[in-house]
Amino acid sequence: MRKPPERRRRRFDPAGPVTGLFFLALAGLFLADGLADENVLSVTTLLSVGLTGLGVVGTVRVLTRSRRRDLR
């Protein structure tokens, strides 16, 4: 008789939630800026926040890449 294959428990990968929260926050900033009569943030601040956030998201994805690998 064959043994059923062992089910490996998947570890939590924080890259997805971090990426989702970043893009939701950035979308919220753009929405607030579009709905307000005056600027919520200056363009340079919004651009620097966006680029810094993309760097953080990229770093988290690189650091947690081993959790997404499926080696068979």
Averaged pLDDT for residues 44-63: 86
Candidates 68, 51, 59; CA nearest to 13 is 68
Q: Is the pLDDT of residue 68 over 70?
A: no
Q: Which tokens is 19 given? A: 């990426």
pLDDT value for 70? 59
* pTM (predicted TM-score): 0.63
Burial label, 49 (beta-carbon count in 10 A; 0-12, 13-18, 19+)? middle
CA 30/CA 52 separation, integer angstroms: 16
